Structure 1
Amino acid sequence: MNIRIILNSFKADFRFISRDPMLLMAFLAPFFLILFLRLLIPLLSEYIYARTSFQLLDYYPIVAISMVSIIPMLFGMVYAFILLDENDANILQVISVTPAGKRDFLYMRLLIPAFLSFIMVLFTIFLTDPVTGEGWLRSVFISLLLSTQSSFAFLFIGCIAANKVQGLAMSKLYGIFLVAVPLGLLLHHPWNYLAFFSPLYWISWAWIIPSTGESLMYGLIATVITGGCIVIFFRYFLKKHSG
């Protein structure tokens, strides 16, 4: 896959995003999440503590991890909507003349949001410090794990939805995977079993657990779940557009 083709595709994608207010807001939302974690959470914590003696900052890691986990979904959703628009315009039929063409096209569509997610998640971690003292290697590891969720969200929305209305519905349905993060971290055994289906649950534990060995194990579980889902949706996409 040519780097120049990927860069040209990204430029065209950004022009498309800039003309759609909803997609532009979703694309820029990670910056608002950073402001929320850096500025509003401390102020909100002081306000709540002054009135209830409840210390919100004690739960900052859970809040921050939950917020950062949203970032891959946002990029995946944006590119899923671009895919739906390309499908409506019959661009897929023009580009995907051969099976190899379809695969290369989908590889590119998977790569760009994953790369953007990796950069943005890593940037957000360094600015907001969700897990104090985790070290840069753990930050890179978690950023890589979360970047795969962008590809998963892209396929989850783009492969199942037939139009933008259905795409919005699928984006909301993806929220089930996100809710598993705070619930999985807050609930005790055996109720945390309810969150085992979500790769984000395992990533959150890979992030917060002090043990390096356990972190790698949880990361591996998340990778297996995500990889399996991506393979299934990837094959479904190729079959769906084989005509």
Structure 2
Amino acid sequence: MVSIGKLMINDMRNIIRDRMLLFSGFIFPVVLVVICRLILPWISENVFDLTRYYSLLFMMFTILFPMIFGFIIAFLIMDERDENLLTVLRVMPISRTSYLLYRMILIIFLCFIFVYTFPALSGLIDISFIDYLPVAVLFSLFAPILALIVNNLANNKIQAFAIFKMLGSVFFLPLFAFFIAEDWKYILGFIPNFWTFIALDKILINGSQDVVFLSVGFVYHFILLGMLFYLFNKKF
């Protein structure tokens, strides 16, 4: 517990010290809320009616939270890789598995706080907190998946930035599922957040959860997490 506490304190110091991470983790979410509460309503009233697209805009903005926190944790882990901390952990009281689990649980928890409160803060959608709960968890599970993908593929921060830019484009693709034929949209099902978007859309349309899409989403996310976790341990 002491080791985990020290890691948490060290994480906060690193985030506060790095302006980019500080902006990503604390300032950018505030900017998103301002956009949703002030700018989008103004555009809808004075320029173009965006209200019919609010649910899509909500999905687009919400997926940014796991991307942001995935970005933060990925770079914290990368810093520790460069400092050979992962090697040192082999002889430390805290195991490397415990260290990685701490990282994953921390990122899921932080992301969940922002994602779960975003409907009320943004005002873009009207949804029951109970119905939204599993969807918020799904959104949050995406953060460690992104962090592990980057750390498995990138050997340095320059490569990590390039991978993030590429993945950022890929993970917005499921939004196009709402503009193509019903049968064809499932070709985007290999992208994890596709199932999260569809599950959320079903709640907004039907007023209740769709167990099928939620179940597929959770199973797919946990399979990806397990595979990426295994590959990371094997590589480092």
Q: Secondary structure at the match of 1:18?
A: helix
Structure 2 vs 1, CA of residues 95 and 128 (structure 1 numbering), >3 Å: closer, same or farther? Answer: same
Percentage of pairs with the same residue: 26
Within a 5 Å distance, the mapping from 1:69-108 to structure 2 comes to 69-97=63-91, 101-108=95-102
Q: 1:7 to 1:212 in 2, by over 3 A?
A: farther
Any gaps of 5 or more consecutive residues in structure 1? Answer: 50-54
Alignment of 1:90-239 (within 5 A): 90-97=84-91, 101-132=95-126, 134-210=127-203, 211=206, 215-239=210-234
Letter matched to residue 74 of structure 2: A
Decide whether aligned partners of structure 1 residues 38 and 213 sit closer, same or farther in structure 2, where only a CA change above 3 A counts.
Answer: closer
Contact 2:37–2:122 (8 Å) recurs in 1 = yes
User: Structure 2 stretches of 5 or more lacking a match?
Assistant: none
Could you tell me which amino acid in structure 1 is paired with residue 137 of structure 2?
Answer: L
Q: Which runs of 4+ in 1 moved over 6 A?
A: none
Question: How many residues matched?
Answer: 233
| RMSD after superposition | 2.1
Paired letter, 1:220? S
What are the within-5 Å matches in structure 2 for residues 42-61 of structure 1?
42-49=41-48, 55-61=49-55
Distance 1:7 1:206, change over 3 A: farther
The CA distance in 1 between the partners of 2:142 and 2:157, in whole Å, is 20
Q: Output the TM-score relative to the length of structure 1.
A: 0.88
Q: 1:93 to 1:112 in 2, by over 3 A?
A: same
- Alpha-carbon offset, residue 103 of structure 1: 0.8
- Offset from partner CA, 1:52-106 (integer Å, 9 cap, x none): xxx21111111111111110111011000000011111111112338x8111111
> Which residue is equivalent to 2:39?
40
How far has the Cα of 1:186 moved from its partner? 2.6
Query: Cα distance, 1:212 vs. partner?
Result: 7.0
